[in-house]
Structure 1
Amino acid sequence: MSSRMAGSIVLRHVGLRNFTAASISPVAARPLLASGDGVPAVMVRLLSTSPASEAAAKAAKEGGEKKEVAINSYWGIVQSNKLLREDGAEWKWTCFRPWETYTADTSIDLTRHHVPKTLLDKIAYWTVKSLRFPTDIFFQRRYGCRAMMLETVAAVPGMVGGMLLHLRSLRRFEQSGGWIRALLEEAENERMHLMTFMEVAKPRWYERALVLAVQGVFFNAYFLGYLFSPKFAHRVVGYLEEEAIHSYTEYLRDLEAGKIDNVSAPAIAIDYWRLPANATLKDVVTVVRADEAHHRDVNHFASDIHYQGMQLKESPAPIGYH
């Protein structure tokens, strides 16, 4: 019997499973399923589902009635249990789940700065500073589009670092001290920043084209930089986050001065950061800035433990930093 035939038989007997993994972050929310039962943050729940094709075929047999099949991902898997918000409304986001939401720590020190001491630190610092000048010229004070561009870049380092540490863990048959998950969570958090600002700023065609160019250059440059020196790569990200804090602070000043309309917060931001229903754009920028401050501290810490001659795997990653 061929492996393909054996696999088909197994699938027919077992059926498809939808694996819903919860975040390990201590700030993660309790998952709210239709039953209202809470699930511990580190548990993995298996939800039996049916293929979309079987559901459609069943609908056709029942008198040919047209029944819309809700597909919640590009895998074509039907969600058997509806997820609910805290107010009982149906959860409408597929890019994150209720237990992946959190309340941002806005009390974090925003003024903290890592003074460059070594040659690599100084190269990292002035590299980031040199990138700020053309950015200021291009975007001027269009902070919505500036934030969009910033987040398309900021979401790259965590994914690259997590990927390389993942491969290293496989090669060396050793654990990572939680750093793989921490870096991937950072990348996901930055991506959610982008999803939020896409609701606020509508990028023009040439700004979208610029994203393609910048991401292509930055990904490859950061990949090579991380291979050369993880210490240097994390230090660059630390300084990038310091610049992000500065940019969002300027954004808030314009909002407070009335130069930018303080519109209502996007629905996706209200659910992701557990903001009040009447939250505004100012509230969104405030929590995003707090996230960037946490990313700053994590990356500077990652660079510091390399500087001390230690490996990332030997120091546990900060959990729930965002």
Structure 2
Amino acid sequence: MMLETVAAVPGMVGGMLLHCKSLRRFEHSGGWIKALLEEAENERMHLMTFMEVAKPRWYERALVFAVQGVFFNAYFLGYVISPKFAHRMVGYLEEEAIHSYTEFLKELDKGNIENVPAPAIAIDYWRLPADSTLRDVVMVVRADEAHHRDVNHFASDIHYQGRKLKETPAPLEYHSSEMLGISLVL
């Protein structure tokens, strides 16, 4: 849960900086502003979902405030200096998130973590069946993280090729289980 509190920062920072650049230059972004802000919102929904499951205490919430403040400023500076590095770093962080959620699934399957009913917020956001469980939620969240990984590596690749993001359309719309093509019945 703690990592999800900072996971939304890169999309927000990248989207915000591209938004300001677009306004200054009177140019479109190729959909990248929307894609990055959608990523930030999607990561926020991961957090909101797992807060329903984990029920954080007041001191955990205070820690979030401190960690998020440091990470936001560091990532902002990093993105200003090198967007290609910033996107690549996020791509690698998302790969770690995929690994973490894979381990989470293993623990659920072993019975070490109770496979509780999915929170209503998750059912609504991902358009999951009403009888979905925590395992179903982890599956769609892991798929989201894979999408974030791919988008960020793609954005970094565009920069490494000496091109601008606006020259290549951004991938959009990915967060529902139908769009992901995931079968929740395993």
CA apart distance, 1:204 = 2.4
Cα distance in 2 between the residues matched to 1:212 and 1:164: 22
Equivalent residues in 2 for 1:78-227, closer than 5 Å: 148-227=1-80
CA apart distance, 1:165 = 0.4
The runs of 4+ residues in structure 1 deviating greater than 6 Å are none
Cα distance in 1 between the residues matched to 2:82 and 2:165: 12
What is the one-letter code of the residue matched to 1:251? F
By percentage of residues, which structure has more helix? 2
CA apart distance, 1:175 = 1.1
1:270 counterpart residue number: 123
TM-score normalised to the size of structure 2?
0.91
For 1:55-90, what per-residue CA distance to the aligned partner results, in whole angstroms no more than 9, with x for missing partners? Answer: xxxxxxxxxxxxxxxxxxxxxxxxxxxxxxxxxxxx
2:181 counterpart residue number: none
CA apart distance, 1:275 = 1.2
Cα distance in 2 between the residues matched to 1:237 and 1:190: 12
- Aligned-pair identity (%): 86
1:228 counterpart residue number: 81
Pairing 1:250–2:64 present: no
Report which structure shows greater RCO (CA 8 Å, sep ≥6).
Answer: 2
1:296 counterpart residue number: 149
1:56 counterpart residue number: none
SS at match of 2:4: helix
What is the one-letter code of the residue matched to 2:95? E
For 1:13-54, what per-residue CA distance to the aligned partner results, in whole angstroms no more than 9, with x for missing partners? Answer: xxxxxxxxxxxxxxxxxxxxxxxxxxxxxxxxxxxxxxxxxx
Cα distance in 2 between the residues matched to 1:206 and 1:268: 24
CA apart distance, 1:248 = 0.7
Cα distance in 2 between the residues matched to 1:207 and 1:247: 20
CA apart distance, 1:319 = 2.0
What is the one-letter code of the residue matched to 2:66? A
1:89 counterpart residue number: none
Is the 8 Å Cα contact of residues 295 and 321 (structure 1) preserved in structure 2?
A: no
CA apart distance, 1:173 = 1.4
SS at match of 1:268: helix
Cα distance in 1 between the residues matched to 2:51 and 2:151: 26
Cα distance in 1 between the residues matched to 2:17 and 2:126: 29
What is the one-letter code of the residue matched to 1:212? F
CA apart distance, 1:206 = 2.6
2:180 counterpart residue number: none
1:76 counterpart residue number: none
Cα distance in 1 between the residues matched to 2:58 and 2:45: 21
Cα distance in 1 between the residues matched to 2:48 and 2:60: 16
SS at match of 1:166: helix
Cα distance in 1 between the residues matched to 2:172 and 2:112: 38
Match of 2:135 among 253, 267, 282: 282
CA apart distance, 1:250 = 0.8
Cα distance in 1 between the residues matched to 2:57 and 2:98: 24
Cα distance in 1 between the residues matched to 2:6 and 2:111: 28
What is the one-letter code of the residue matched to 2:122? A
CA apart distance, 1:205 = 2.7
Cα distance in 2 between the residues matched to 1:267 and 1:204: 21
CA apart distance, 1:169 = 0.8
SS at match of 2:8: helix
Q: Answer with 1 or 2: which has the greater Rg.
A: 1
